[in-house]
Structure 1
Amino acid sequence: MLANKNILLGVCGGIAAYKAVEIASRLRKLDANVDVIMTQAATKFITPLTFQEITGNPVSSDMWEKVHNWNVEHIALAKKADVVLLAPATADIIGKLASGIADDMLSTTIMATTAPVFIAPAMNSNMYINPILQRNLQTLQQLSGYHIITPATGHLACGTNGIGRLPDPAVLVEEITNYTAQVQELKGKRILITAGGTREAIDPVRYIGNRSSGKMGYALAEEAARRGASVTLVSGPTSLNVPAGIEFIKVETACQMQEYVDTIFAASDVVIMAAAVSDYRVRKIAGQKIKKTTEAFTLDLVKNPDILSALGKRKSTEQILVGFAAETQNLLTFAKEKLQRKNLDMIIANDVSQKNVGFNYDTNMVKIITRDAAVEDIPLMSKKALAAIIIDKIRNLKK
């Protein structure tokens, strides 16, 4: 499963460092190529020679010591890695990464890599539940490419019982194996995703818009690309970074979004319409800023094209069309009606009146409804985690 995969194992200074030896061994038995970077503190618990004998590769621990035949070692290791696993990850390295600090070989290499980074915290229970540490973990969890592995609960080296144990090496290796197995499962599939809210100009200063941040659509684009799909993301204005490895098209209005979507639709295997498209636009946009001259002001609005409905009428029997329903009442009733009326294969419905759900939040809680009327309740979770569930559901749809 891991043959020819380059795994970078980062080992930090904690008593659980001894478990990293078994991690390296298990990865090698799965035919992965393993490079190890140790912090200086980690070398106090276990010697670099141990890892070198197991992996067959020299071990890096010092920014200024040349152990590979590379000019800039941390950059070379960063580029080489297919996956990075930090195990054990101490509060120190987690704080550095969350703050953008790169002051040793390990933190510098991680800052320079574009590979996914899996972080397995291991520490005293009180350290783990410390709000500063939890804030740092949340910061990393929300970033593209960072994955947090929850520590185990049990007896700790400090003599207490609680959360903070490094998970069993077999569990950590399985996490990496499962991830790499997913990477190419959508290879050859063309997926079109819309995201963000559209804006309809009133004058050169003002516009009609909505509260969509685009976070759900961007998370879906990132997840689909990670699994090997060819992804096109058509997005309204957002403040988000564009996920790596996708085709990105920036639009502002509903009509612009419709133009690009119509062009790409026929060649797409899956279309996920996560954008919050404005229902109306101003009939005549003012050429200059409208001044306040009266107590009341009326806008003459016309209806925007219903992009999703039009796609539902056009889609072939092989295509999968997925929509979203953001409601504040009668969630299931409205979502099921929308699924049928617009000829969708699946709809993701969320009640945006709920706390921490929907627009602008990093979390979401939804109901996933398919054409067979099956309803799956998804509890509150990060939009990144939800994106993985949605892509799984789409992959398993029968066409």
Structure 2
Amino acid sequence: MKNIVIGVVALLVIVGGVIAVDRMGGDILKRADRPDDVTITALVGGEKIEFLRNEGILKILDQRYGITLDARKAGSIAMVTDKPAGDIDALWPSNEVAAEIYNNRHGKPVADELIFNSPIVMYTWKPIAEALIQQGIVEKQDNVFYVVDTQAMIQLVLAKKDWKEIGVKALWGKVAVQSTNPAKSNSGNMFSGLIANMLSGGRVAGLQDVATHGPTIQSFFKSLGHMEHSSGDIFRKYLDTGIGAKPIIVGYENQLVEFFIANERYRDLIRKEVITLYPQPTIWASHPVIALNTKGKRLIEALSDEEIQEIAWREHGFRSGLKDRLTDTSAVEIEGLPKTITSVMPMPGAEAMEKIIKLIDPDA
């Protein structure tokens, strides 16, 4: 009888251990197999800060890969322009041109790889979207607002048209599409590339195109006055200050998706007032991690984790960088979100973009 009791107790201990491991998702076994713990320091674009504060992401990095991430916010262009400090293991800007600029200035890194994508969009308000539809610049197709004549929108700014002239009676001043500083931040940088392409007849702008249209590009951005250095900062100010201060801004698609998911009390207001405009064509903001050493390379491997990629879309609106992954837009209860982004053009090359940066900010 005593042997039977001992056997039952032993069996319960074994079963309990199996249940405990199962409830932890197998992480006990994974921790035993993973590399040693390491702290990785990375400069990252401001639009990814909330993603890197996600407890689910931090848990996967820690328990599955042994990584504690020290993420420091920096402008995507600024981080690749200057030589990174010796304690920086990786850079995570928001476009492939930034990676090219790094290569041109500092040489090839240990590794670089795209992690996920987000198209460049414009954020505006319902009265402005309605006026732009009347002007033939914007069309609503399948509940998505598209800028079908990006060149015409650019010309509204260059011609210094008043808002009242295009039918927005409540606004004072000139039409403006506000962006971050192209010499500091990726969203502004990509927008300047899109403008260069549009001024070049809708083809990818080269060095000669930039020389030809440089004064016009300068004039466009000079008309904006002060420009923010962070995509996250300009988006927060857009929401905080409203239509009078920020009628139209340039940003990333994921910014509104992320805010919408995280802030339930604002969802009805966003549905009623906030409009996302998709330029046709737009430009992909593809987010490459640039590994400066072996620790940075380890971060690339961790961020490519399938579960991390799923959280990136489901909770932060980043479209997956994994090959052939389909984005389930029904998982995000926000209107005006296209299932696929089909009208996309490449950015000008790194040399052309560096010329544009110098035109806008000679000290860059």
TM range (shorter): under 0.3
Q: Which has the higher helix share?
A: 2
Q: Give me the TM-score of the superposition, normalised by structure 2.
A: 0.20
Higher RCO (C-alpha 8 Å, min separation 6): 2
Q: Which has the higher strand share?
A: 1
